[in-house]
Amino acid sequence: MTSSTSTSRADPERIAVWVSRLRSGDARALARAISAVEDRRPEAAGLLRALFPYTGRAAVVGLTGAPGAGKSTLVDQLAREYRSAGQTVGIVAVDPTSPYSGGAILGDRIRMLSHHADPGIYIRSMATRGALGGLAQTTPDVVTVLDGSGRDLILIETVGVGQDEIDVVRLADVTIVILVPGMGDDVQTIKAGIMEIADIFVINKSDREGAERVEREIRAMQSISPRRDSWSPPIVRAIATSGDGIGDLAAAISEYRKFLGTTELGRQKRIESWRERLVAMLRESLVRRILQTELREADLTRYAEQIADHQLDPYTVVDGIIKKSGY
């Protein structure tokens, strides 16, 4: 996020009211807060700062898998499971593969309906593109808002293919990788890429032929690249559409969280995550300052033109801008 601006500094009272509404579970205040963060509005910095003291309490669970693995259904069932135990749930659905189709917003509405407008479940799809910093920058702030607003459980779901999505899922305390039988050899590559970050595996649609084979493959890959800690990622079989195995999954999540608590690994994970996030925040903050002060849009276009026409080289341009900025 940007640093505090005059807007946010000047209006601490408005921020305080907003925070208290968020803390009381006001769904409209929550929607507005997430939009402010997504759109990088000036008031977002002050809000995030004010919410920070309330964060760190939620369980953050990331779920990832190839398109077609049944992520949404599994996440919805998991949300239902936790709701029936009295927990409040926030769902962040990150799917950068369908931004042009408007599917994200439509999908939200359909999924909201399936929860009968239960205010204890809040779903937000993120499909913003081209924003400064991208999804990997915005998602942590959205999680901060949900966490600070008092949600007990935050589920982040994403397709496990690109680097951004993997960064997003690494925010979580618990990472779940969802596989399905019968997706062919090409999908094995995807699995290999996210193997190391899985704390729990789910074989979804496990009534399909080939579930044993998927399990054998997971075990084989685990033996090739074992984890550094003593946790052995369990494999949970599930059929998300019928709810089979959802209880087992919740139990596995609970067990891993217990493991994190007893081994100090949870704190280590959060420190590592903050290291990366601090660098990302610095990067964004600095470039935003330069773009707001030293380098106007018109200058940027003029430089780009001269580089495209080979009148300037980009390395000299960047050096020049930084020198001019006085840094």
- Minimum distance from residue 105 beta carbon to a second copy (Å): 14
List 14, 23, 41, 49, residue binding a second copy (CB under 8 A) = 49
- For the segment 200-229, give every residue that binds a second copy (CB under 8 A): 225
Stretch that binds a second copy, among 31-39, 74-82, 92-100, 209-217 (CB under 8 A): 92-100
- For the segment 156-185, give every residue that binds a second copy (CB under 8 A): 159, 161-166, 184
> Mind giving me the DSSP string for 87-151?
--EEEEEE-TT-TTTTHHHHHHHHHHHHTTT-TTEEEEEE---S-TT-HHHHHHHHHHHHHHTT-
Does 106 help bind a second copy (rule: CB under 8 A)?
no
- Minimum distance from residue 40 beta carbon to a second copy (Å): 13
- Minimum distance from residue 116 beta carbon to a second copy (Å): 26
Complex with a second copy: residue 190 or 250, whichever CB lies closer:
190
List 39, 207, 212, 313, residue binding a second copy (CB under 8 A) = 313
List 21, 26, 27, 67, residue binding a second copy (CB under 8 A) = 67
CA distances (Å), origin 284, targets 190, 204, 277: 30, 38, 11
- Minimum distance from residue 9 beta carbon to a second copy (Å): 11
- For the segment 19-38, give every residue that binds a second copy (CB under 8 A): none
Token representation of residue 323: 């020198």
Task: Give phi and psi for 217, each to the nearest 5.
Answer: -65, -40
Counting residues that bind a second copy (by CB under 8 A) gives 83
Q: CB–CB of 203/214 below 8 Å?
A: yes
List 15, 92, 135, 156, residue binding a second copy (CB under 8 A) = 135
HSE, CB side, 13 Å, CA atoms: give it for residue 210: 11
- Minimum distance from residue 27 beta carbon to a second copy (Å): 25
Q: Which residues fall within 8 angstroms of residue 267, CB to CB, at 6 or more apart?
A: none
Stretch that binds a second copy, among 35-43, 65-73, 207-215, 228-236 (CB under 8 A): 65-73
> Mind giving me the DSSP string for 82-103?
HHHTT--EEEEEE-TT-TTTTH
**Which among 2, 295, 303 has a CA at the least distance from the CA of 137?**
2
CA dist 99 and 118 (Å) reads 26
- For the segment 258-277, give every residue that binds a second copy (CB under 8 A): 267, 270-275, 277
Complex with a second copy: residue 84 or 232, whichever CB lies closer:
232
- Minimum distance from residue 4 beta carbon to a second copy (Å): 7
List 19, 34, 48, 58, residue binding a second copy (CB under 8 A) = 48
| E-strand stretches of 192-238 | 200-203, 235-237
Stretch that binds a second copy, among 15-23, 24-32, 245-253, 312-320 (CB under 8 A): 312-320
- For the segment 113-132, give every residue that binds a second copy (CB under 8 A): 129
**Which among 231, 229, 199, 201 has a CA at the least distance from the CA of 216?**
201
Complex with a second copy: residue 87 or 285, whichever CB lies closer:
285
Residue-wise burial string across 109-144, b where 16 or more C-beta atoms lie within 10 A, e elsewhere: eebeebbeeeebbbbbbbbbeeeebbbbbbbbbbbb
3-state secondary structure of 291: helix
Q: CB–CB of 248/236 below 8 Å?
A: yes
Does 10 help bind a second copy (rule: CB under 8 A)?
no
Cβ count near 48 (within 10 Å): 23
3-state secondary structure of 157: strand
Stretch that binds a second copy, among 16-24, 98-106, 108-116, 205-213 (CB under 8 A): 98-106
Does 109 help bind a second copy (rule: CB under 8 A)?
no
